Structure 1
Amino acid sequence: MTDWNGAALEKIAAAEELDLAPERPNGTLRDPVTMWMVRAGHRPYVRSVKGSDGPWYRGTQSR
């Protein structure tokens, strides 16, 4: 993973929550999922509001 550029990171870092739409294998988007966002240095980190029980998190583990 590469570092985000400054302008994009600042815009994302200003939010406490993000609505992210995961991509299906065919390229279409799933319904958005609310994520908590924090920044550590130049990298954003997100965490599923439903934690490891959420479908989004489980999907990341299978890919």
Structure 2
Amino acid sequence: MTYQCALCPYKAKHKGYLTKHMLIHKDPSEVKTYDCSFCSYKAKVKGSLTRHMLTHKDASEIV
């Protein structure tokens, strides 16, 4: 099964990939960002922030 973008020819094998792709069609001011509370990192997808937070684990910044 593939998921087709309604706005361009992009096709994805997983719904999550299409959801992430759809962000390119939004005005940047409308895209919610997930901000790291320890550095200036910003993510468009919550899972990306979660993965990024592991970089702070060894720095003993996460309680």
Instruction: Please indicate, yes or no, whether the TM-score normalized by the shorter chain is above 0.5.
Output: no
Q: What is the TM-score normalised by the length of structure 2?
A: 0.25
The structure with the larger Rg is: 2
Tell me: higher relative CO, structure 1 or 2? Use CA pairs within 8 A at least 6 residues apart.
Answer: 1
Q: What is the TM-score normalised by the length of structure 1?
A: 0.25
- The structure carrying a bigger helix percent of its residues is 2
